[in-house]
Amino acid sequence: MLRPVICGVTWFRLVGSTLAALGILGWGMVWAGDPPGEWKVGTARVAITPEGPVWMAGYAARNRPAQGKQHELWVKGLAIESPHGKRVLLVTLDLCGVSRDLTEPLREEIAQTTGVGFDEVILACSHTHSGPVVGTNLITMYPLGEADRKAVEDYTRDLTRRIIQVSRQAVEALEPCQISWGIGEASFAVNRRENPERDVPTLRAQGQLKGPVDHAVPTLRVDRGSGGLAAVVMGYACHCTTLDGYEWSGDYAGFAQLELERRHPGTIALFFAGCGGDQNPLPRRSRALAEDYGRQLADAVDRTLQGPLTRLGPEDRLATAATTVRLDFAKVPDRAHWEELASSTNRFEAARARALLDRLDREGRLETSYPYPIAAWRLGGLTWVFLGGEVVVDYALRLKKERGSDSVWVAAYCQDVMAYIPSRRVLLEGGYEGVGAMVYYGLPSPWAETVEETIFQGIEQVWNRLDR
Ligand SMILES: [Zn+2]
């Protein structure tokens, strides 16, 4: 019984390919009639831990470059090919953030190198605060000297080369696999706007922690066709800010990846950050805690791996869509404002003002809005949304409420990390995520009050295209 089916598939593909090669049929027509094949997955990784002295990203209080490491930082690639031949690529980065001036050309180059579409390449940062400064990301935060800047530039150049290498290798490694998915839970993320850090142990013990959280642990399981766990992808909505020292580390997400790879030899573990813009791992500030949160995350993943899981079948489709929406700034002050602030005694205000004056000199104007990236993949019954920036938890909760919490995953810090992305509620409340952090990202003002609705309109557009 088996042989005729295999022969049939081979024959059909051969004829279809030949007709397509002759230009008689388009690929769509060939595939439309072709019995579906198999899902394929390819993975690759390379260490990106800086070798020389490079400044670390994420905290304004550090005053010197890193010294030593707790473990390697990684770029990891996961390519997926559907039974209909459509490909996507997820690249996870143990980095705090990357900017659009780096990632747009980088995604172009990955697309050219791999053949995966520009919109289908997702760059996802873990937001570890124990990774290096990259390119111009958060650059007004750090008092870098000339040699420090050069070290960041050299590192960034080498990093892009490694990201392209991993992307190419992941696609080259595509092999038949089984893909399944489920959602677990871990509870160490705390709403940092609502709970004073020192009170968290007591509040947790009393069940009195306040504010919205998203404790879901979306988990993708990849098994080789020949048997054995090939890869696991996990997400969690929480800042990687357990640690604030001078040693390189992926923070809890780095420890979770290590733990899963230790428990499942031969497996590659990848992490993506969810909408944890206003979430911290609390309490924090020790390696023991970072390891413990890593273990908690790995435990959540392992429980989910045991099932039940939803498995993608040969009839399931992979659909993708992406868009860019313009997020307006509340206001863009004129040159006189920035000239005055350039001599501010607040070094962050002064650095932002100088950066914006430079741009005014170069480009003659300041943008009044930002091109915000939104993408989504539909894998059978799962919709995986990818948002740029430090998105607060309200977005994931609203999206899951409107679209279904058991079939929607939301990744943030994707494509580029341009700023915090507050909900309307958080924006109006103010504070660091709503207003204060914009200075570190070198942006002229808080977002306009339309920020949340503009992003949800973009998600709606993307969703409608997935539904087609
Ligand atoms: Zn952050």
Q: How much distance in Å is there from the Cα of 112 to the middle of ligand 1?
A: 31
pLDDT of amino acid 36: 65
Q: Is 279 among the domain residues? A: yes
Same-domain pairing of 204 and 347: no
Q: How much distance in Å is there from the Cα of 239 to the middle of ligand 1?
A: 6
Same-domain pairing of 395 and 357: no
Q: Is 398 among the domain residues? A: yes
The residues, ordered by sequence, that sit 6+ positions from 165 with a Cβ below 8 Å of its Cβ are: 44, 46
Same-domain pairing of 296 and 352: no
For 354, the token pair is 């100088």
pLDDT of amino acid 226: 86
Mean pLDDT of 241-255: 98
Instruction: Report d(CA 336, CA 338) in Å as an integer.
Output: 6
pLDDT at 445 over 60: yes
Tens digits of residue pLDDT in 11-46: 333 333 343 334 333 333 334 445 568 999 999 999
Q: How much distance in Å is there from the Cα of 404 to the middle of ligand 1?
A: 27
Q: Is 428 among the domain residues? A: yes
Same-domain pairing of 220 and 349: no
Q: Is 454 among the domain residues? A: no
Q: How much distance in Å is there from the Cα of 275 to the middle of ligand 1?
A: 10
Same-domain pairing of 50 and 87: yes
Same-domain pairing of 214 and 341: no
Same-domain pairing of 231 and 349: no
Same-domain pairing of 166 and 297: yes
pLDDT at 111 over 70: yes
pLDDT of amino acid 35: 56
Please give the mean pLDDT across all residues of the chain. 93
Same-domain pairing of 359 and 380: no
pLDDT at 8 over 50: no
Question: The dihedral of CA 467, 38, 387, 442: what is its sign?
Answer: negative
Q: How much distance in Å is there from the Cα of 294 to the middle of ligand 1?
A: 18
Q: How much distance in Å is there from the Cα of 253 to the middle of ligand 1?
A: 14
Same-domain pairing of 160 and 247: yes
Q: Is 48 among the domain residues? A: yes
Q: How much distance in Å is there from the Cα of 191 to the middle of ligand 1?
A: 13
Number of domains, the chain: 2
Least confident of 223-227, 230-234, 301-305, 334-338: 223-227
Same-domain pairing of 266 and 344: no
pLDDT at 7 over 70: no
Hey, is 69 helix, strand or coil?
strand
Residue ending a domain, among 342, 363, 384, is 363
pLDDT of amino acid 4: 29
Q: How much distance in Å is there from the Cα of 420 to the middle of ligand 1?
A: 7
Q: Is 6 among the domain residues? A: no
Q: Is 173 among the domain residues? A: yes
Q: How much distance in Å is there from the Cα of 409 to the middle of ligand 1?
A: 20
Q: How much distance in Å is there from the Cα of 54 to the middle of ligand 1?
A: 20
Q: How, if at all, do strands 318-328 and 369-379 pair?
A: antiparallel
Tens digits of residue pLDDT in 340-397: 999 999 999 999 999 999 999 999 999 999 999 999 999 999 999 999 999 999 999 9
Domain limits for position 340: 333-363
Torsion angles phi and psi, residue 25, rounded to 5: -125, 145
Q: Which residues of 85-116 are buried (b: 16+ CB within 10 A; e: fewer)?
A: ebbbbbbbbbbbbbbbebbeebbebbbeebeb
Q: How much distance in Å is there from the Cα of 383 to the middle of ligand 1?
A: 25
Q: How much distance in Å is there from the Cα of 17 to the middle of ligand 1?
A: 49
How sure is the predictor about 147, in pLDDT bands with cuts at 50, 70 and 90? Answer: very high
pLDDT of amino acid 139: 86
Same-domain pairing of 345 and 400: no
Tens digits of residue pLDDT in 55-96: 999 999 999 999 999 999 999 999 999 999 999 999 999 999
Tens digits of residue pLDDT in 160-169: 999 999 999 9
Q: How much distance in Å is there from the Cα of 142 to the middle of ligand 1?
A: 15
pLDDT of amino acid 18: 40
